Amino acid sequence: MRIVADENIPLLDEFFAGMGDIRRLPGRQIRRADVADADLLLVRSVTRVDADLVAGSCLRFVGSATIGTDHIDRQALAAAGIAFASAPGCNARAVAEYVATLLVGNAVEQGQPLAGQCLGVVGCGNVGRAVVHLAQQLGMRVLVSDPLLPAGAMPDAVQAVSLSGLLAAADAVTLHVPLTRAGPAPTHHLLGAAELHAGRWQLLINTARGPVVDNDALRALLRACPGRRVALDVWEQEPRVPGDLLARVWHASPHVAGYSSEGKWRGTAMVYRAACEALALPPVITLDEVLRARGDRIDMLPWPGELAALMQACCPTRADDARLRASAGADGDVEPDAFDALRRDYPARREFAHYRVIRGAGPGKLTRGPETETPQVTAAFLGGLGFA
């Protein structure tokens, strides 16, 4: 069996070497000729899989080791008789931890307690639910806007509101919707000029897809209202990042919010299981077995004295921001090659559950605010955030 795979998919040999010969290619450079005689195609979000790519091929299965599918023409695959699977939820925890780290870091920089603030979560799928859980653990009040959420599926202690109601009430807004241009609730430019100028929010986080926010309208907003903070992990023009927008956002990163090692590993394992099912092959290995063979174990993490510093030690959002800004050219733009290199060479990042925190003397605090406004960071509190 012949397998063509994005070179950035981890654990390819561990899961797929037993199926056949693997040819690794840069994801953006996979072309029709590369898959013409392949049986399996394994991609991430940077490869557009459409009718032109698969025309005349021998493909039997396409797997995307990602949660999003906007880069896949599923109708074209179905018409060609090619099975497809993605990895929904594989990196939900990673994205949620990234968002929580940004929320805590912003609260510290602003000198405001995070507990009691209102977080608006737009989209309540796998990622949105994980964000809701961490926000509640941090003491935030949570509103959710998701017109596609089935009745009775709202998380506990969360109020469902319209998008306009959410924007009017939330102190911070975070986006967790797929990119869609049709259907009952399209999300392309979900936040345009009117939505961006609405409400009282002071922090907007987008770790979903770049075009969910109209980046031209966002640029205009930040020129007019420089006090509002925006954190962008995704960009409407990516892999190019425009310098004039990069200079105005509070946090910038190269589409890596979901780039935990665990998230990537889960994605590969999920696609492997789906491939086995589609090809009627018995699975011969699990992710737990792979990790045991690699000797993966819980690591000890010294308590640095502040929750923000602890979270940065695991989820280094500031370092991600610094690397992206340092990669900008003389004109201020980040070019596609530089953007892709940051993703390809992204340092290994483990999720909170990989660490057991070793506490030192003295209680840690959520922020640097008054003691009466900041709950103590206890072992139970850290466990609620997911630490081992």
Tell me which residues are annotated as active site.
209, 238, 255
Phi, psi of 47 (to 5 degrees): -100, 120
133 near 155, Cβ under 8 Å?
yes
Phi, psi of 195 (to 5 degrees): -65, -40
Strands lying side by side in the sheet with 21-25: 21-25, 2-6, 40-43, 61-64, 83-85
Give per-residue burial for 39-62: e unless 16+ CB within 10 Å, then b.
bbbbbbbbbebeeebbeebebbbb
Cα–Cα distance measured from residue 235 to residue 240, given in angstroms and rounded to the nearest whole number: 8
Within its chain, how far is the Cα of 318 from the centroid? 16
Does the CA dihedral 26-27-29-32 come out positive or negative? positive
Helix residue ranges, H only, the chain: 12-16, 32-35, 51-54, 74-79, 92-110, 126-137, 163-169, 193-197, 215-224, 243-246, 261-278, 287-294, 307-314, 317-326, 336-344, 379-385
Cα–Cα distance measured from residue 218 to residue 212, given in angstroms and rounded to the nearest whole number: 11
Q: Is residue 265 classed as helix, strand or coil in its secondary structure?
A: helix
178 near 209, Cβ under 8 Å?
yes
Cα–Cα distance measured from residue 325 to residue 143, given in angstroms and rounded to the nearest whole number: 32
Cα–Cα distance measured from residue 254 to residue 234, given in angstroms and rounded to the nearest whole number: 7
Q: Any idea what the Cα angle at residue 180 is, between residues 174 and 185, rounded to 5°?
A: 75
Cα–Cα distance measured from residue 53 to residue 30, given in angstroms and rounded to the nearest whole number: 8
264 near 351, Cβ under 8 Å?
no
Nearest to 172 by CA among 107, 90, 87: 107
In the beta sheet, which residues pair with residue 302? 358
